[in-house]
Amino acid sequence: MNLELASIVLLGSLLLLLALGVEIAVSMGIVATIGLVFFVHKSIGEFAYAAWGYMNSFTLTAVPLFVFMGAVFSNTGTITALFRGAERLIGFLPGGIASSVLGANAIFGAICGSSVAAAATFGKIAYPEMERLGYDPRLSLGSIAVGGTLSVLIPPSVIMIFYGSWEQVSVARLFAAGLIPGVLLAMLLIATVVIMVMLNRSLAPRSMKYTWKDRLIALKEIGPFAVVIVLILGVIFGGIMTPTEGASMGAAISIIFAAAYRKMTFQALKASMWSAMKITAMIAYVAFTASVLGMVFQYLGLTDAFSAFMTALPLGKYGIFAIICVMYLILGCFFDSFSMLVLTLPFISPIIRSLGFDAVWFGIVYVVLAEIGLVTPPFGLNLFVLNSVVPQHGVMTIARGALPFLLPLGVLIVLLTIYPQIALWLPGVLY
């Protein structure tokens, strides 16, 4: 069977299964099985080899540990102190609590790495207070939904760990590359809240005034979290520990931290372990089915053909890169960030390398594009997570609230494209 017909059958089958509502991992597994047996004439035992070969990775061990660390902070409620501290520090700004949510998310992102955990946590903590004070629901929901995406960009990031493992790129370099763009994005998002509220005072009540004593209390509340962040990222960036070892230390610190706040219970520990196990199992399932499907495409020559087609377009490297960005923006409306990553990298990675773009830089650009997908309907994951926490507001209401915050995300992509050193300067200094 020629390449064109095989591609139509496999890709058509995948799209049909997804349209019928079949889970992404199951859909990829079915299509990969068809490709293995009928097109490349391999045994379905390749699934076992792929599962073992891909998941038997010391680097990927960091994933459940970082997820567990974030779950402990979330399930024990210790993160409330972080939110209160951020509120005392930047709550004087127009739209003070919305800005505080974004600032707290930036810090929480540095100890979590999961946008789902961030959106759920701040939906429970911040939204009731914003509702009580009379904030416009769209501003409240939009800031919480988009704030959760900072956990994907600010290290440690689960998606960066998998990107690094898949692309054979240093995870520590990716973490370093994401730090400055993550802080910059947090500042852009807070500036967006300030501008929105200044233009429309009905969005938020008058901000509260805080004394210097309040700010000192805030530093006391945020300080322990800052120490944890500096310690974990410091040992990773300093080469003292690998990301996996740093994650192990962070997991242990999270338990000690919660115990010190007298929040650690057996139920919270059990829930955190269960959360880490479920999320890791889900990611692993998607990863090895995608790896087998990618192998089928490579055997058929589809990935090479697609790469050759794209690079031959008379658009220049930045024109082709713009097409890739638009493709990810569209796919992000239908796929979660991880599924989109493993499904497209076999096709996109050769193109990026052949165009001369840095793999670390593209990893950060991909994460920003994936952040947009997390809050765009119909299947933006953060929209559904927040809807489950705040069921009185529909998914589309949350999506409309998040819409103005897409502008700073787009601005960051443009800045990263024009000034790639925003992402590459810190890894260059450290390594």
pLDDT on residue 2: 74
For residue 329, which of 416, 409, 419, 422 has the smallest C-alpha distance? 409
pLDDT on residue 133: 86
How would residue 254 be classed by pLDDT, with cut points 50, 70 and 90?
confident
CB 380 within 8 A of CB 394: no
Question: What phi, psi does 183 have (nearest 5°)?
Answer: -65, -40
Question: What phi, psi does 112 have (nearest 5°)?
Answer: -125, -70
How is residue 221 written in tokens?
């509340």
For residue 180, which of 359, 360, 374, 375 has the smallest C-alpha distance? 360
DSSP at 57: -
Mean pLDDT of 164-181: 90
Mean pLDDT of 266-282: 85
How would residue 25 be classed by pLDDT, with cut points 50, 70 and 90?
confident
Please give the sequence-ordered ranges of beta strands (E in DSSP) within 168-208, or none if there are none: none
DSSP secondary structure of 224-253: HHHHHHHHHHHHHHTTSS-HHHHHHHHHHH
* 202-234 per-position pLDDT tens digit: 898 888 888 888 888 888 888 888 888 888 888
pLDDT on residue 1: 57
Q: Would you kindly state where each structural domain of the chain is located, as residue ranges?
A: 45-430
Mean pLDDT of 413-426: 95
pLDDT on residue 325: 92
pLDDT on residue 417: 95
pLDDT of 105 strictly over 80: yes
> Could you tell me which residue, 112 or 321, shows the higher pLDDT?
321
Question: d(Cα 99, Cα 161) in Å, to the nearest integer?
Answer: 29
pLDDT of 155 strictly over 90: no
Q: What share of the chain is helix, strand, coil (3-state, %, to 5)?
A: 80, 0, 20
How is residue 123 written in tokens?
């939906």
How is residue 239 written in tokens?
């080469």
pLDDT on residue 181: 95
pLDDT on residue 268: 87
pLDDT on residue 322: 93
How would residue 59 be classed by pLDDT, with cut points 50, 70 and 90?
confident
Mean pLDDT of 41-56: 75
Distance separating the N- and C-terminal Cα atoms of the chain: 48
* 360-383 per-position pLDDT tens digit: 999 999 999 988 888 888 778 788
* 116-136 per-position pLDDT tens digit: 778 888 888 888 888 888 899
pLDDT on residue 54: 67
DSSP at 93: S
How is residue 406 written in tokens?
């897409």
Question: What phi, psi does 136 have (nearest 5°)?
Answer: -60, 130
Amino acid at 169: V
